[in-house]
Chains A and B, each alone.
Chain A
Amino acid sequence: MQQRYNFAFFDEASKREIRRAVLKGVCIPGYQVPFASREMPIGRGWGTGGLQITLSLIGRDDVLKVIDQGADDSVNAVNIKKLVCDTTDVDVTDDTARATLIQSRHRIPEQPLTSKQILVLQVPTPEPLRTFEPSEAATRVLHAEADYTGAWLELFDQIVAYDTTVTGADHPVVVNGRYVMAPSPIPRFDNLKLDQAENLTLFGAGREKKIYAVPPHTSVRPLDFEDYPFVRERFEGVRCALCGAEGVFFDELEDEATGEVRYQCNDTAFCAARRAQQRAHGVAPDDAAPEGAPDVVPSTASDAASDGSAPDAEPGEAPGEREVR
């Protein structure tokens, strides 16, 4: 550790102030708590909100995992990990199950999180009504009066234009039946993972100076219309080219020379763990049973042992339908 810094970069008063905002956010699920966003050694818009929450919460026993767009080893994730390590000396891992604190941008890990874990999401635009109403003073009044016409109107406008909602990510959700919240730019695929989750999810927007939270076992419902229900991204009949996984969120990769399209798990740690397990069992990816993500928890030794005897996936069932809760 570089001793020039206090533990976890911030002075204790700063950490306390950020934790106070986090606590208020937990008490009022989905409510955006304003906080005094600190200057950070990385630029605003590069995850400073999430980083401030991580630094204010992290303790010596924590194990940190940082993901950017599903990958543990992309530049932004690596740099954030380096900063936290340099100032705390905590353990870093790619293994979702081992981590106690997970900072992420754009994704919630495929492997369901537990009550022992905290997920911190980096948020660029915390205000779901911002495009509808540019004034912060006005949106605060709208939140206070629970007038969410604007959020619905935006979805309606998309349906009028394209006959479907086109929220690729950041599809607005109602938290605990009260506040409409931007779930940070996670794909629609991950929205339902927030509903009644075991873990605490914290959202930090450094540039916009807001912190909000979804506590464990809280209802999170995506906004939708009676005749246009919420749908997740569909990956029917798609398997990961590397590990053979189905029913997870995929990256589409196109070979520019041949025009061939392949799919790969977006969650690299999930994919790598599955491949390690397949190597250990001597199974080629093509022979792997088409198991859906929630059924396979590939990371720990006990799971690996049970995995071989748990081909309980029903082959006739489409993975897309199976996961909608």
Chain B
Amino acid sequence: MAEELTAPAVACEEDAPQLSVRDLSLRFGRGCPACQGAASELAGNVCPACGTVHAVRAVSLEVYPGEIVGIVGESGSGKSSLMRCVYFDEQATGGDVRALPFDGGARNLLELSPQRKRAVRNQVFGMVYQNPHLGLRMGFSSLSNIAEAMIASGERNVGAMRARGEGLLERVSIPLARATCPPRVFSGGMQQRVQIAKALSANPPILLLDEVTTGLDLSVQAAVLDLILDIRRSFNVSMLVVSHDLGVIRMLADRTLVMLSGRVVEQGLTDQILEDPQHPYTQKLVSSLL
């Protein structure tokens, strides 16, 4: 525990953020004058006048090199939607996302052409979904799953891809004898580990983890969390971690954002948030954990 928390967020401040998100919004519906402003009052995240759903409302955040940023919030608070917008699974309504490793942060990723977005997905981001069915091709072998991003970025050497795939599977403790099995025949925990290996295949500088441990039993959860920290240590990857589980956030995240009804209501060092929550919602969240 102590070791994770000593990861020096302050030292990272000197570097430019790997990922910066400005005023990201996602809404379903046209919107109306009553709900357009960032400060407008809604019933939850629904506009009482026009019924538009504001899933994500002007969220800004930065992820520095080697840093893990956590996002907590109840279900429906917009944390996964935020993640999906960053990974282009969902088309954001507005906002600005820049990634330093892609083009030095020169362009807004949300405005790139579909081909370039695909390149960003393949080369800059690694995504791990809560449900392995979303992130894996269940009918293809585990090695093929890991090779997919490499093939997409132009690799045409089977031997090289196989070697890299086997290395990654070893890393996530999948026995090599199972490397040619499709993830369909694996247990949930193994599928999640294959998904992590797949996310790492193209050496992405930024990992996006969406509820990675939800639904896994406690010992497997611990193993997956250990693996994530281990990956951060060895590859110095930046990560954005979404979870509703404060235990996971406490173990992983250097900094934490608390989301409620599509907005960030509180942010700061994870310790600070957990020990001295300011917003009533965060207070409720923390007290229900203890």
Query: Which residues of A approach B to under 8 Å, CB–CB?
Result: 132, 141, 145-147, 149, 152-153, 156-157, 159-161, 225-228
Contact = CB atoms under 8 A, between A and B. Distances in A.
22 contacts: A132-B137, A141-B114, A145-B114, A145-B115, A145-B118, A146-B115, A147-B118, A147-B152, A149-B148, A153-B140, A153-B144, A153-B147, A153-B148, A156-B158, A157-B140, A159-B158, A160-B141, A160-B143, A160-B162, A160-B179, A161-B141, A225-B156
Nearest to B149: A149
Interface in B100-119: 114-115, 118
Contact of A225 (B140, B144, B152, B158): B158
Interface in B173-229: 179-180
Given A152-B156, A226-B156, 15 more contacts: A141-B114, A145-B118, A147-B118, A149-B152, A152-B151, A153-B137, A157-B141, A157-B144, A160-B143, A160-B144, A160-B162, A160-B179, A161-B141, A225-B157, A225-B158
A227 B160 CA distance: 9
B43 to A, nearest CB: 35
B280 interface: no
Interface of B: 114-115, 118, 137, 140-141, 143-144, 147-148, 151-152, 156-159, 161-162, 179-180
Contacts, number: 47
Contact of B151 (A146, A153, A161): A153
Contacts of B156: 152, 225-226
Contacts of A160: 141, 143-144, 162, 179-180
A206 B159 CA distance: 40
Rank and list the top 9 A-B pairs by shortest CB-CB distance, nearest first: A157-B144, A149-B152, A226-B157, A225-B158, A152-B151, A160-B143, A157-B140, A160-B141, A227-B159
B122 to A, nearest CB: 9
Contacts of B141: 157, 160-161
A141 B162 CA distance: 29
Majority secondary structure, B binding face: helix
Contacts of B157: 225-227
Most buried by B among A132, A145, A153, A228: A153
A6 B67 CA distance: 74
Contacts of B148: 149, 153
A161 B162 CA distance: 12
B152 A227 contact: no
Contacts of A227: 157-159
A98 to B, nearest CB: 43
A226 B147 CA distance: 15
A114 to B, nearest CB: 35
A226 B155 CA distance: 9
A228 B179 CA distance: 20
A173 to B, nearest CB: 15
Nearest to B165: A160
Contacts of A225: 156-158
B147 A156 contact: yes
Contacts of A226: 156-158
Nearest to A163: B158
A315 B85 CA distance: 65
Given A145-B115, A161-B180, A226-B157, A156 B152 contact: no
B231 to A, nearest CB: 24
A228 B147 CA distance: 15
Contact of B144 (A141, A145, A147, A156): A156
Nearest to A132: B137
B118 A156 contact: no
A141 to B, nearest CB: 8
- Which of A149, A161, A227 has the most chain B CB within a 10 Å cutoff? A149
A138 to B, nearest CB: 12
B36 to A, nearest CB: 32
Contacts of A141: 114
